[in-house]
Amino acid sequence: MLTKRAQGVMYHKGQISFPGGAYDKEDGELRATALREAFEEIGVNPGDVEILGNLDDQVTYTSRFVITPFVGAIPYPCKFKVNHREVEELIEVPVSVLLIPSAYVPETMDDEGKSHPWGHYLYGNHKITGITARMLKQLIDLVFV
């Protein structure tokens, strides 16, 4: 499950991302942060998530945030409750689509037409770029390649 971030959020407006956000001291650990944020953004009950592991820490290019991505499984079907203050759109991207070789483009052009050596995924009318694409690529490579 991916989200398109709302225009009213402070960082990464309109970008496609995984549910997630900033650590709060009350969380105690980053795993709890991930579960809390998934609940706040898309209504996934933390007790329904089976954490399968985590990926390598990633640093965003623009804001320099360090992200610790967790991979989890949720029951299907799941009734999502989208927080529209933070999420403009919920995007369900089937893994099978990400496995199609043409779905991944190894270079990305920025708004000025400059090419960058990081890839992106295409899904429907969505272009999944940046840190989200890097995390997806790592997950796909770990599990399916």
Return the CA Rg of the chain.
15
Neighbour tally for 42: CB within 10 Å: 21
pLDDT score, position 115:
84
pLDDT score, position 145:
80
Query: Rounded to whole angstroms, how far apart are CA atoms 129 and 107?
Result: 10
Q: Structure tokens of 121?
A: 């995924």
Q: How confident is the model at residue 63 (pLDDT cuts 50, 70, 90)?
A: confident
User: Which pLDDT tens digit goes with each residue over 96-145?
Assistant: 999 999 999 998 777 788 887 778 999 999 999 989 999 999 999 999 98
Q: How confident is the model at residue 56 (pLDDT cuts 50, 70, 90)?
A: very high
CATH number of 2-144: 3.90.79.10
pLDDT score, position 116:
77
DSSP alpha helix (H) spans, 9-129: 30-42, 95-98
| Residue ranges per structural domain of the chain | 2-144
